[in-house]
Amino acid sequence: MEPRISIITLGVKDLPRARHFYEQGLGWSVSSVSNENIVFMKIVGTILALYPAEYLAEDADVENNPNQGFRQFTLAHNVRERHQVAEILQQAVKAGGKITKSAQDTAWGGYSGYFADPDGYLWEVAWNPHFQFNPEGTLSIPN
């Protein structure tokens, strides 16, 4: 198996609201293959899909019983400059998200904060001086 993540699909409660948050609020581009049942956004290095939670649970053959607490994973958006962390957190709030942890210095020498999107998915916005971006915009980490 080749190590890669091709698509991250978020099960959402309200597809139009979720689309608005990411497209209008965060400024992400929606792919033309999207329709009234699923939204695809090409982001650097992968694809983000938004799909109604009940359909996603059905597709995976699991019960749709969303945990209202911590979902045991986070998504991360790394930035090139420290000041971008606070800017993106504020952009998320204006779009309808909620800051769960304000931007602050980290124990590992970076700067980060967290927001929750309207469906409660946690996003870390981080500046890490130890990681570099490749020319195509993907994050590079040491071997």
Q: Domains (ranges, CATH) in the chain?
A: 1-61 (3.10.180.10), 73-132 (3.10.180.10)
Which pLDDT band holds residue 84 (cuts at 50, 70, 90)? very high
What tokens appear for 115 in the block?
């927001």
Which pLDDT band holds residue 136 (cuts at 50, 70, 90)? confident
Contact yes or no for 125/136 (Cβ under 8 A): no
Calpha distance 30→35 (Å, rounded): 10
The pLDDT of residue 100 is above 90 = yes
pLDDT at 1: 65
Q: Which residue has the tokens 């204006």?
A: 94
Calpha distance 128→125 (Å, rounded): 10
The pLDDT of residue 58 is above 90 = no
Calpha distance 128→142 (Å, rounded): 13
Chain centre to alpha carbon of residue 13: 16
pTM recorded for the entire structure: 0.83
Q: Which residue has the tokens 């597709």?
A: 59
Beta strands 111-116 and 46-52 are unpaired
Phi, psi of 54 (to 5 degrees): -65, -35
Which pLDDT band holds residue 132 (cuts at 50, 70, 90)? confident
